Structure 1
Amino acid sequence: MVRPSVSPWGAPVLLVKKKDGGARLCVDNRQLNKLTIKNKYPLLRIDDLMDQLRGASVFSKIDLRSGYHQIRVKESDIPKTAFRTRYGHYEYVVMPFSVTNAPAVFMNYMNKIFRSFLDRFVVVFIDDILVYSRSLEDHHEHLRLVLEVLRERQLYAKLSKCKFWLSEVKFLGHVISAEGIAVDPAKVEVVSQWERPRTATEIRSFVGLAGYY
């Protein structure tokens, strides 16, 4: 994933605690991102994704393990990903989470490999894959096709986060079933319990969350 580096680049790092108690290494690539030409590949609107799911009754959700890290970085660009630590200078050979174009690059790749399945039985949003079907028989075949693509492309899922053969699924802040699509009650609770915003940053955070729905 990383290797020792002699690059003139060198971003600072910090450790952020994860929900499972572990720690994530976060590289502060703000300076690199300022110099990067932004990839304009569009991220799909959530309501457009949800429209595809009407009428489906069986679902499987696949979460890729550290999805961005499964994409290799072009050799000539690797030095730009360098970061410095107390133990030395290192650089990524896979795509880091902190570079500005990572979501667009990954979304483009996922849409490309699943293109023939999109709008039929697959919804992809970054590294979340939702397989949906109208019947158990259809779902068996749809799931087989999706897993076959992942195997061919050597993309690995995190089994603990995957869920299969569901009649109801939580996906992108919504609860989806044969009965329809609703906002996840847990997200509604977050909004209802939100403390009164007191700064411009807090207001933007609240408006962003509320506007999502």
Structure 2
Amino acid sequence: MEAEGREEADDENQKVPPRQLTTAELSDALQTIEQWLQWFEDNDCNAESSRIAKRGIIERVDASEWISPIVVVQKKSGGIRLCDDLREPNKAVIADSFPLPHIDDVLLRFQGASLFCTLDLKATYHQLGLHEDSRDLTTFITHDGLLHFRRVPYGLCSAASAFQGIMTEILQGLWGIVCYLDDIVVFGQSVDEHDRNLDAVLRRLQDYDVTLNKSVGQ
């Protein structure tokens, strides 16, 4: 399977349905056209915005009822990540309730295993499309105008539970694995069992066009 992933999002051929947000009624639309534009005075921000636009993660829009500032996050691996400051839009989103794995359950499943490896999913939430009816909520402002996300953005209140639910559905029926958001631990009691489980996971991820980072810890 492709470790680095596709350079452009292909919504028409995406095998996982795009995520649609459920929103509550608000009395007033949000128009936050103020401050924080200084983030885009940094050339790195402009370059990152162009990069993710080319990959189909964001797209330009002419107008929106929801306009949020942008937040720049420094990645541990270097570089930056552009995120919406979604504190106000999140108030209108009815969050998913799909649970994350509990540590006690995870440790119980590891009992008897002697071999482990970890698969790291690439770009996490950006692998999950955002329904076109929900994209307006993610609109943000830059010096070049308004853009919104076509993929699920970081900072969305329901992103983690929605992503966990999708990955649980994708990996359903496979043995010797634990998935916690963008980390998949594959384990087995023997080399043969571990390798069979790993092969099954890789095939399943490939079937759903889910991509991995290059590095694999073992």
Please state how far the C-alpha of 1:55 moved relative to its aligned partner.
0.8
Distance (Å, rounded) in 1 between the aligned partners of 2:71 and 2:87: 13
Normalising by the residue count of structure 2, what TM-score does the alignment of the two structures yield?
0.71
Distance (Å, rounded) in 1 between the aligned partners of 2:99 and 2:145: 37
* Alignment match, 2:58: 2
More helix by share: 1
- Uncovered stretches (5+) of structure 1, i.e. residues with no partner: 167-213
Which of residues 97, 107, 112 in structure 2 aligns to 1:50? Answer: 107
* Alignment match, 1:126: 181
Amino acid at match of 1:70: Q
Question: Secondary structure of the residue that 2:199 maps to in structure 1?
Answer: helix
Alignment partner of 1:145 is 2:197:
no
Distance (Å, rounded) in 1 between the aligned partners of 2:93 and 2:143: 27
Runs of at least 4 residues off by over 4 Å: none
Equivalenced residue count is: 161
Alignment partner of 1:91 is 2:135:
no
Please give the residue correspondences for 1:37-116 in structure 2 after superposition, counting only pairs within 5 Å.
Answer: 37-116=94-173
- Uncovered stretches (5+) of structure 2, i.e. residues with no partner: 1-56
More strand by share: 1
Question: Secondary structure of the residue that 1:52 maps to in structure 2?
Answer: helix
Please state how far the C-alpha of 1:38 moved relative to its aligned partner.
1.9
Amino acid at match of 2:150: V
* Alignment match, 2:82: 25
1:4-48 residue CA offsets vs partner (Å, 9 max, x unmatched): 013221110121222233112121000011111121111221121
Please state how far the C-alpha of 1:97 moved relative to its aligned partner.
1.1
The answer on whether the counterparts of 2:83 and 2:153 sit within 8 Å (CA) in structure 1 is no
Distance (Å, rounded) in 1 between the aligned partners of 2:74 and 2:99: 30
Normalising by the residue count of structure 1, what TM-score does the alignment of the two structures yield?
0.73
* Alignment match, 1:135: 190
Bigger drift between 42-51 and 103-112 goes to 42-51
Please state how far the C-alpha of 1:154 moved relative to its aligned partner.
0.4
